[in-house]
Chains A and B, each alone.
Chain A
Amino acid sequence: MTEPPLLARALLWVVQLLTPASDRVWVEAMRGDLDVAHARGHALMWAFGCLIAAVRLRVAAVAVLTPRRRQIVVLGCMMLLLTGTYVLFFAFSAVRPHGAIGCLIVGAPIVVIVAPLAWFLRHDVPAVITDRWVRRSLLVWIASAALFSVALIVMIATGRFWTTLIAVVSSASPVLVFSAVVGMLAILTTAIVLGSNFSRLPRRIPRMLPNERRFVFFWGATRDTMLALADAGAPEMTLPRGWLINSTLTCTALLIEAGFLVLQAASSHGLGAGDQRASSLEVVGVAALCLANMLYVIAHVRFARSVPHR
């Protein structure tokens, strides 16, 4: 009997590293099966499949988390994404990151994406309609908005807001201005929509239940939320709807990625800057961003699947 190809054995070595300790015994089973794969191509394909299986096991092991830890992981991934964006925007452009525009660009995704996400990850619907939770979460929202407003006011008062705004407008970067305006509008819209709903949330929830699209829009439509909605009596809620959630999240992540790439291109062309060193750093930045996006989507998809089928 011949030895499996070196590449296949190397892949199995990676498999051993990736597989969680509790399932390590299966790596030996994989080795045994690889040993009987005679054709070189077949052995490589088998080893590659084992690698996929190991990744799936590793991701599944991550999903064994309490809701609080899940939230921290998801938010951590999002923070990584935002940090990557921040570096990508400002490291290679003429605009420095100490302006209000930078604050808006970084703040908008936090408020628009992370906050509703955290909201729905943290509270299932029955908890949300409890007054105690509404009050507590409302306080967090008010505190966040207040902090954000104070930062803006300080910047306006010190004159940085206007100088930065004028610098950005005069540097002929319509994409950056557009993104800042859209970010501001998104913050206002979210604040108005959610803010107006807070006081009447307990009354509004029953009417909102049949409209699952609304929850998908807010990113928080994990399967936990869907199950909670079903438990709360949404009659036409059919489970599982994992494909809808997953494709929505994936499309959104891809859209964000596309938007970042457009902004990055505008930054290198419209805002000047960018020497050889910057170009190589940009590649690292884009790679980090893609990785962060990937982690974010995997985390979400995994969490959506972590709830058992009913």
Chain B
Amino acid sequence: MFSGTLYPLLMRLEKGGLLESRWEASPQPNRPRRHLYRITGEGIALAGELAKEASRTESQRRLVPQPS
């Protein structure tokens, strides 16, 4: 994924409480710390809902006769 898209997304998810992050020291000396992300319970619930909605939309789309 393009980093220009990734970071704003991560920020929005974290601000929305759907993602939590923490810092970890780099295994190499004198290197920048690493930022690690983890989806929260709320995020998992929302992802499940969205996945269900997506599959429902997909099944409805299949019911519509496609032009031959």
User: Taking the nearest CB of chain A, how far is it from the CB of B9, in angstroms?
Assistant: 9
Given A23-B11, A26-B11, check contact A31 B4 (CB 8 Å): no
Contact B3 A53 (CB under 8 A): yes
A269 CB–B CB distance under 8 Å:
no
Instruction: Tell me whether B28 is interfacial, beta carbon within 8 Å.
Output: yes
Cβ < 8 Å to B, chain A residues 5-38: 23, 26, 28-33, 35
Chain B residue, CB-CB nearest to A34? B32
How far, in Å, is A39 (CB) from chain B's closest CB?
14
Judged by a CB distance under 8 angstroms, whether A49 is at the interface is yes
Please state if B32 and A31 are interface contacts (CB–CB under 8 Å). yes
Do B26 and A56 have beta carbons less than 8 Å apart? no
> Is A50's CB under 8 angstroms from B3's CB?
yes
Interface pair B3/A26, CB less than 8 Å apart: no
- Which of A32, A33, A35 sits near B3, CB closer than 8 Å? A33
Find the B residue at minimum CB distance from A3. B31
**A29–B19 alpha-carbon span in the complex (Å):** 15
Q: Are A1 and B11 in contact (CB under 8 A)?
A: no
Residues of B within 8 A of A23 (CB): 11
Q: Is A194 an interface residue (CB 8 A)?
A: no
Cβ–Cβ < 8 Å partners of A35 in chain B: 26, 31-32
> From residue A70, how far is it (CB to closest CB) to chain B in Å?
21
Given contacts A35-B26, A56-B8, contact A28 B35 (CB under 8 A): yes
Chain A residues whose CB sits within 8 angstroms of the CB of B10 once the complex forms: 26
Q: Assess whether A290 is interfacial by the CB under 8 Å rule.
A: no
A115 within 8 A of B: no
Interface size of B in residues (CB-CB distance below 8 Å): 17
Note all chain A residues with C-beta closer than 8 A to B2: 45, 49, 52
Q: Check if B7 sits within 8 Å of A26, measured CB to CB.
A: yes
B6/A49 in contact, CB under 8 A? yes
B55 nearest CB across to chain A (Å)? 22
Residues of A within 8 A of B21 (CB): 29
Q: Is A162 an interface residue (CB 8 A)?
A: no
Q: Tell me the bound Cα distance from A45 to B8 in angstroms.
A: 16
A46 part of interface (Cβ distance < 8 Å)? yes
Residues of chain A in range 193-222 having any CB-CB distance to chain B below 8 Å: none
- The CA-CA distance from A50 to B26 in the complex, in Å, is 20
A253 lies within 8 A of chain B by Cβ: no
Bound CA–CA A1/B8 (angstroms): 27
B30: nearest residue on chain A (CB-CB)? A1
**Known: A26-B11, A29-B35, A33-B35. Is A49-B26 also a contact (CB below 8 A)?**
no
The answer to whether A50 and B32 have CB atoms under 8 Å apart is no
Q: In the complex, are the beta carbons of A49 and B4 less than 8 A apart?
A: yes
Q: Is B56 an interface residue (CB 8 A)?
A: no
Q: A-side interface residues toward B, CB under 8 Å?
A: 1, 23, 26, 28-33, 35, 45-53, 56-57
Additional A-B contacts beyond A48-B4, A53-B4 (8; CB < 8 A): A23-B11, A28-B32, A29-B7, A31-B32, A46-B3, A53-B6, A57-B8, A57-B11
Q: Name B's A-contacting residues (CB within 8 A).
A: 2-8, 10-11, 21, 26, 28, 31-35
20 examples of A-B residue contacts, CB within 8 angstroms: A23-B11, A26-B10, A28-B35, A29-B21, A30-B7, A32-B26, A32-B33, A32-B34, A35-B32, A45-B2, A45-B3, A48-B4, A49-B6, A50-B3, A50-B7, A51-B4, A52-B4, A53-B3, A53-B5, A57-B8
